[in-house]
Amino acid sequence: MILSASRRTDIPNYYSEWFYNRIKEGFVYVRNPMNIHQVSRIGLSPDVVDCIVFWTKNPAPMFGRLGELSAYPYYFQFTLTGYGKDIETNVPHKRKKMILVFQRLSDQIGPQRVIWRYDPVLFTRIYTPEYHLKAFEQIASALKGYTDKCVISFVDQYAKNKKVMENIGVYEPNDAAIAKFAGGLSEIAKANGMAMCSCAEKIDLEQYGIEHNCCIDQRLIEDIVGCKINAGKDKNQRLECGCVESIDIGTYNTCQNGCRYCYANESQDKVVRACSRYDVNSPILCGILAAEDRISERKVKSLKEEQISIF
């Protein structure tokens, strides 16, 4: 199986000690967000975990213990944007800290395993296309040689974030402006030795040198693992998403980055309540098992194709 840690929250930044304890104990409990009393016990043996995909805006808390993951292939989706604290409230200063963190992680595990995400892109009176292009160029030049790929996406509006998007004045540029913007990003990425890709976008940007991308990327995982992976498309994601199937071990309403575009948190009050239940030794993230919970063993297996195929 492929482990996602996590689309729902920033585990490396806020819950790395919990994660390392789960790896050490060899299992984790995950509550079904659509059926709160259904809890799965998931084994985390290296025999069944083919790859771990981390999603984060700050992996620094993991640095001192990365050696504990030596039995596991893994890579990082590292989001690094040009937004200030008005949009990404609790993310440290990009130029003074986060670029250095990115470079350090790349030095430790290699540029192939650190994917730069400049996403989501949203446009306001302050964060214009011109602003983004300038910020993107500054970050890209600093990350030259530290990553092979940059991924972008444009902000999506959900019921959870629609009101906030309206309050900060998010607007959609016309097609001509998007085309010019995409072409500018692609040129900057190419100049800095990076492939440019998009994430789950309906719009086709390939004519501007931006390919469709998979975050849970079968080809990248196969390169890291060193063998073929027999994985199907993740049916739980949007139609435009090309990710292969994975198991997410995160919990909604627990990310403390404070990003105003966030889809994973319903409200700050819910985040505060959930985080108050955080226990580094608990088998479940920011949760307490109740008498009415039903715990079942989820059947997991390796997706590796160990035998050589003639096809």
Q: What are residue 40's DSSP bridge partners?
A: 30, 296
Residue 47 has pLDDT above 50, yes or no: yes
Query: pLDDT value at position 293?
Result: 96
Q: Predicted confidence band at 240 (pLDDT cuts at 50, 70, 90)?
A: low
| Amino acid (one-letter) located at 229 | I
pLDDT at 131 over 70: yes
Model pLDDT for residues 101-114, shown as the tens digit of each residue: 999 999 999 999 99
Question: For residue 205, what are the CA distances in angstroms to 148, 197, 210?
Answer: 19, 9, 5
Strands (E), the chain: 2-5, 27-32, 35-43, 51-56, 74-79, 114-121, 149-154, 195-199, 211-213, 247-248, 294-297
What average pLDDT does this structure show over 263-283?
95
Mapped onto helix, strand or coil, the DSSP state of residue 62 is helix
Between these two residues, 221 and 206, which has the higher pLDDT value? 221
Give residue 309's pLDDT band: very low, low, confident or very high (50, 70, 90): very low
- CA-nearest of 124, 138, 166 to 82 is 138
CB-based contacts of 81: which residues, under 8 Å, 6+ apart? 88, 94, 118, 119, 135, 139
pLDDT: is 9 or 212 the higher one? 9
Model confidence pLDDT, tens digit, residues 142-181 = 999 999 999 998 887 766 777 888 999 999 888 888 888 9
Residue that has been written with the tokens 């239940």 in this structure: 277
Terminal-residue alpha carbon distance, the chain: 23
